């Protein structure tokens, strides 16, 4: 019996997965959560073998949550779940310890296959996802933002100037300027406008 837990903020997805899997003999349905908090509370009591996790949770990205979980409960196999087929997101998820990745258009067999695969310690990448990873190999070479850069970029997008950001983060204004220039350089852009557009369309912020 594989103990299964699911976190997703969408009732319909929870229902859908439950409905798909409830009759499987070798699956034990531990429960569901809609928020990271609910999940963490539950994990203090019981530990699932496999955790299906939506990566678009409110207030917290599944990427970060996955990292946390794997730190606290390394034995749990995490399978990412999303509608997004963005290679960067998928790769980040795997980097953060996920054992598999499913798109939400996955069929029953695919979900079962994923669970059976990860429980053996192997990694399951669905067909469609694998293709995306291959196709967007170039996309993946995109230098990702570091924590600080992301933080700075978010503040830039909110309209703060370098000086204001520096004050907020207790840093020197030249530091913020460095980060800004680094981002422009690494993405080969030449001003803030294009940087913000790039970041938003690539879901960096």
Residues that bind its own copies (CB under 8 A): 9-20, 56, 83, 104-108, 156-159, 161, 189-197, 200-201
User: From CA 103, how far away is CA 80, in angstroms rounded?
Assistant: 8
**From its own copies, DNA, none, interface partner of 171 (C-beta below 5 to 8 A by class):** DNA
Question: Is 201 a binder of DNA (CB under 7 A)?
Answer: no
Q: State the minimum distance, in angstroms, from the CB of residue 19 to its own copies.
A: 3
Question: Is 200 a binder of DNA (CB under 7 A)?
Answer: no
Beta bridge partners of 107: none
User: From CA 178, how far away is CA 199, in angstroms rounded?
Assistant: 18
Name the residue nearer to its own copies (CB basis): 18 or 42. 18
Question: Is 181 a binder of DNA (CB under 7 A)?
Answer: yes
User: Which residues neighbour 75 within 8 Å (Cβ) at sequence distance 6 or greater?
Assistant: 47, 49
56, 7 contact by CB (below 8 A) = no
**From its own copies, DNA, none, interface partner of 11 (C-beta below 5 to 8 A by class):** its own copies
Q: State the minimum distance, in angstroms, from the CB of residue 113 to its own copies.
A: 14
Q: What is the DSSP string of 37-80?
A: HHHHHHHTT---SEEEEESEETTEEHHHHHHHHHHH-TTPEEEE
State both tokens at 66: 């996955």
Question: Is 203 a binder of DNA (CB under 7 A)?
Answer: no
Task: Pick from 2, 20, 142, 184 the residue near DNA by CB under 7 A.
Answer: 184
User: Which residues neighbour 123 within 8 Å (Cβ) at sequence distance 6 or greater?
Assistant: 94, 99, 100, 117
Which residues in the 133-172 window bind DNA by CB under 7 A? 146-149, 156, 161-163, 169, 171-172
Name the residue nearer to its own copies (CB basis): 69 or 106. 106
Phi and psi dihedrals of 171, rounded to 5? Answer: -125, 170
Name the residue nearer to DNA (CB basis): 6 or 180. 180
Residues near DNA (CB under 7 A): 146-149, 156, 161-163, 169, 171-172, 174-175, 177-182, 184, 190-193, 195
């Amino acid at each position: 019996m594989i103990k299964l837990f699911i976190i997703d903020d969408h009732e319909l997805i929870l229902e859908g997965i439950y409905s798909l899997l409830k009759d499987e003999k070798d699956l034990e349905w531990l429960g569901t959560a809609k928020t990271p908090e609910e999940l963490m509370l539950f994990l203090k009591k019981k530990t699932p073998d496999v955790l299906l996790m939506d990566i678009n949770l409110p207030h917290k990205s599944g990427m970060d949550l996955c990292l946390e979980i794997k730190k606290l409960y390394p034995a749990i196999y995490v399978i990412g779940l999303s509608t997004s087929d963005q290679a960067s997101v998928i790769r980040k998820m795997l980097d953060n310890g996920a054992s598999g990745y499913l798109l939400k258009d996955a069929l029953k067999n695919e979900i079962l296959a994923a669970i059976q695969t990860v429980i053996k310690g192997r990694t399951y990448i669905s067909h469609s996802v694998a293709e995306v990873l291959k196709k967007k190999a170039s996309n993946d070479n995109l230098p990702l933002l570091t924590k600080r850069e992301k933080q700075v970029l978010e503040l830039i997008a909110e309209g703060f100037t370098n000086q204001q950001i520096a004050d907020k983060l207790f840093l020197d204004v030249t530091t913020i300027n460095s980060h800004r220039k680094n981002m422009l350089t690494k993405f080969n852009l030449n001003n803030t406008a294009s940087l913000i557009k790039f970041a938003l369309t690539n879901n960096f912020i």
